[in-house]
Structure 1
């Protein structure tokens, strides 16, 4: 874990030390207070990407302040029980978000390897194109060779599930060769031998309001990162129903604390936690041991760490980001539903051109739209056989041209199934409004929900039929729909729950007509 933590600390703009402080302090607090005993908490690539605009606008101090605010928001969310609500976030949105983050930080690390670490303004894709063009004109293969070596070792290590010491050894070897060959590569400049005393000098109260949107986004990302493990490990266990909120609380306290030690924001890592679990971890001791080992190695080897080439860590970060993409899940989503695959693609591509706020908004709007479209397709209305048997009927208070109730063979019956919403109202009620039968019974037994638009459309259809002289009656009104129908003037309160036979329905229709 150490090389990736160092690399993400450097990528955050706060330096390698910030990554170690975050993993040691934040990881310890999160595992002690969180809901998953084997959860490994540390900086993650997607957090670094979210913090990028804050670093550019406010500098390192802004990063610490936004992390503190995000911690406060996470603690508040845990206290109001918002953790369990994360179960309802679409999987496609989460997958797209993390794929986009992985691709974004990968492209930025590629730019650094190719010698374009400067300003990060504009779409990262265009910056990558410029970096590739500049490299083709003036190539420097030693940087690419160092990054490629550490990337390959890290990928093989993850693929073969080998111990993380191989990556550390590869980084150390690259560092030694760089010094021996005097290659002109930038070093990370670590140089701190231990945790400093906590300090609040970074606090800037004037930044609270302008940093709140970024803090809210950061808190959301931390929640999505950390709760993926909870939801996958405990999908339905009743005894663990509070694990999500407990995990949010632990992550909130961790992010509240690490800024005082100059640490970057942290989150639970599904990948690192999975490695920890595969290694046989069953308790909090494993995560605590991981934090202690990282602290010991990082602080005792500070002089060596200071000489690590940045591109060596860039290769490790790229491999970590690529390995975090769950290809099998993406394939299953693509095979199951093309529309859901589009959500993943749009959410993943948006950060490469715009930013994460737009990515979440675009993905959410698309997910809601496709969800409503899917629900709308399930709604249907069916014309049944002539009304012959006795039923439970609720008569509607509608006006009609005086006349007599038609014979039972001329009563049209329509059965509704699914929701009556703005997206389904026209399609479901059109055949009802076009009926030529002198009497209509609307069977609402299968009606799951009704919104204001559906209610207005139903009222309009009923009154249009009444004006034509058509008797209208409802059957099977659910208790939860009575108030809405009554408020729209569609339900006769005196007959809302009356048990009426076919003959009684005829009598009620005559009474309403008068």
Structure 2
């Protein structure tokens, strides 16, 4: 137990590569910090918690997750998916609820890591992940529409309907200045990388848009005053009523934080030559990060795929890069909140709109849509539910739909085949039915296989050999059904012989009572030749 817990804590080997990579790590940390600044501010505003909370989250949660997490190159902080989930929570429960729900969600994620639930993310199908990503990207874009036209976001509505209401009621004369800022910043973000890939396009676009607004004295909304220091950490007040009211929201946030963080860590492990990640430790790190963020007045944090990708591409090899990223943003808090407060909200909207487009891979969408009808339907359904209803429900329904199609496919490949008896035919062989079970005998196929065996009109058959050596999977329903098949055939005077039971299936068949349903314990036989010989003796005695 002690060694298992020790595996989830920081240790010296986390920095084994540091003597050789510290220069690359520092450069990567500075690079990703520059990229993270406008995103942290934008996601904080988009969630309804505020720019200051987004910045605090990037500093505090980014630092804690870097030290305690299970990935060497993961960068954590506020993300678009979390902003999407938080916005309705702020609208319903108020801004004061965020600290408590953040700490609660962090505790839940921490508990999931300690109880070793980290590998559960491997059960999420690829079409569900991509549909979820497409849905989040769409919501992030739609959430920026009100700020892009200089209007407040309507409360109590999904991003889709809120954007529609804002666009239909917009005063285009007042919307022109923020739209011009959006267009200018977006054009820079798209164009600057074509000049040189090392240019930090997000930060450059925000700085240029801010200077343009100041120079032309455009009347657009700004971020406003930001604190020039980190607040003192405090535990949020929690009474039983508040805990009961916010528990559902905390569970949804925790599920999203776990899924997004583990997916990001898995992507990072595939991109970076730093070895595999530890999913359970990653959950521990992300849980502690959200608890710390909530205590400092921040919002829930997750692993950020875009920032992690920038970190890896910039040469990061150890956790020092993510730590440097957080320290750089901490310097912004103490030294540069004055200039940051003058950034126009429309410029941050442009950053998120372009980011949303970059989250969508046209090639990936076409690949999934061209794969199979079931995968395409799962992808489209997950994306649609994400946009129109709820993110967590979208993942749950997507997994259920994918599981249904997978089980249906397995059931279709499961069959019972009557085989010809091997060797020269002997008198009485027509009374013996050799039946081979293929695929899986489970709840999705058991009834169909049962009907195939017991419903066959073969009045001359007096002995049935059920050949199980080719059976890949057997569950309790399948075993129970085999018992019913044996009882049904034996009640008709047909002797049942079960041949080739695999070792992992024998205990289940015994516990369910299948062996007891046979006429004699000798009717459980390993060898096909022995099973046929025994069947022929029964067929001969029935003459």
TM range (shorter): 0.7 to 0.9
Query: Structure 1 pair 503/168, CA: closer, same or farther in 2 (3 Å)?
Result: closer
Match of residue 29 from structure 1: 64
Corresponding residue for 1:494?
521
Change beyond 3 A, Cα 1:159–1:70? farther
Structure-2 residue corresponding to 1:442: 466
Q: CA deviation at 1:489?
A: 3.8
Say whether the 8 Å CA contact 2:465–2:535 is kept in structure 1: no
For each residue in 1:5-27, what CA deviation from the matched residue of structure 2 results, as whole angstroms up to 9, or x when unmatched? 11111112221111111111111
Matches within 5 A, 1:131-146: 131-135=166-170, 140-146=175-181
Q: In structure 2, what is the Cα distance between the partners aligned to 1:171 and 1:340?
A: 39
Aligned to 1:124: 159
Q: What is the match of residue 309 of structure 2?
A: 274
Partner SS state of residue 477, structure 1: coil
Which moved further from structure 2: 64-73 or 325-334? 325-334
Q: Which residue in the other structure is 2:23 paired with? A: none
Residue 207 of structure 2 is aligned to residue 172 of structure 1: yes
Q: Which runs of 5+ in 1 are unaligned?
A: 391-404
Normalization by structure 1: what TM-score?
A: 0.88
- Work out whether 1:110 is the aligned partner of 2:145: yes
SS of the aligned residue for 1:199 comes to coil
Distance 1:23 1:176, change over 3 A: same
Write out per-residue CA displacement over residues 127-168 of structure 1, whole angstroms, 9 at most, x where no aligned residue.
Answer: 222222223766622211111222233344578883463322
**With structure 2 as the length reference, what TM-score do the two structures score?**
0.84
Matched with 1:484 is: 508
Matched residue, 2:493: 469
Q: How does 1:197-208 map to 2 (within 5 A)?
A: 197-201=232-236, 203=238, 206-208=241-243
Partner of 2:82: 47
- CA shift for structure 1 position 293: 1.8
Query: Which of 66, 72, 76 is matched with 2:101 structurally?
Result: 66
Distance 1:386 1:27 in 2: 68
Q: 1:418 aligns with which of 439, 442, 467?
A: 439
Q: How many angstroms does 1:244 deviate by? A: 0.8
Residues 406, 438 of structure 1: 8 Å contact kept: no
> Partners in 2 of 1:164 and 1:4 — Cα distance?
16
Q: Which residue of 1 aligns with 2:360?
A: 325
Partner of 1:140, secondary structure, is helix
Report the CA distance shift for 1:498/1:179 in structure 2 as closer, same or farther (over 3 A): closer
Cα distance, 1:250 vs structure 2: 1.0
- Structure 1: how far apart are the matches of 2:269 and 2:45? 34
- Contact 1:94 1:224 survives alignment (8 Å): no
Aligned to 1:150, which of 182, 185, 198?
Answer: 185
**Residue 299 and residue 154 in structure 1: after superposition, are their counterparts in 2 closer, same or farther (change >3 A)?**
farther
SS in 1 for 2:515: coil
- Aligned-residue offset at 1:77: 0.9
Partner of 2:94, secondary structure, is helix
SS at the partner of 1:491? helix
Match for residue 279 of structure 2 among 236, 244, 257: 244
Deviation digits for residues 253-304 of structure 1 (CA, Å, limit 9, x no counterpart): 1111011111111111122111111111111222122222222234322112
Q: Counterparts of 1:201 and 1:411 in 2: how far apart (Å)?
A: 75
Q: Higher mean Cα deviation, 145-154 or 55-64?
A: 145-154
Judging changes above 3 Å, is the alpha-carbon distance between structure 1 residues 137 and 41 closer, same or farther for their aligned structure 2 residues?
A: closer
The 1:193–1:122 alpha-carbon spacing in structure 2 relative to 1, beyond 3 Å, is closer
Per-residue CA distance 1:314-353 (angstroms, 9 max, x = gap): 1111222222234433333223223112212111111322
In structure 2, list runs of 5 or more residues that go unmatched. Answer: 1-35
Q: Report if aligned partners of 1:9, 1:15 keep a CA contact under 8 Å in 2.
A: yes
The offset of 1:209, in angstroms, is 2.1
Name the counterpart of 1:428: 449
Question: Residues 184-215 of structure 1: CA distance to partner in whole angstroms, max 9, x if unpaired?
Answer: 21111132112122223555553222212211
Give the secondary structure class of the aligned counterpart of 1:190. Answer: coil
Is 1:189 the counterpart of 2:224? The answer is yes
Shift in CA distance, 461/163, structure 1 to aligned 2, threshold 3 Å: same
The residue that corresponds to 1:398 in the other structure is: none
Of 299, 308, 313, the match for 2:343: 308
Render the CA deviation track for 1:366-412: whole Å, top value 9, x for unaligned.
1221121121122122221125599xxxxxxxxxxxxxx97134422
Distance 2:244 2:199 in 1: 41
Tell me, in whole angstroms, the C-alpha distance in 2 between the residues paired with 1:456 and 1:201. Answer: 53
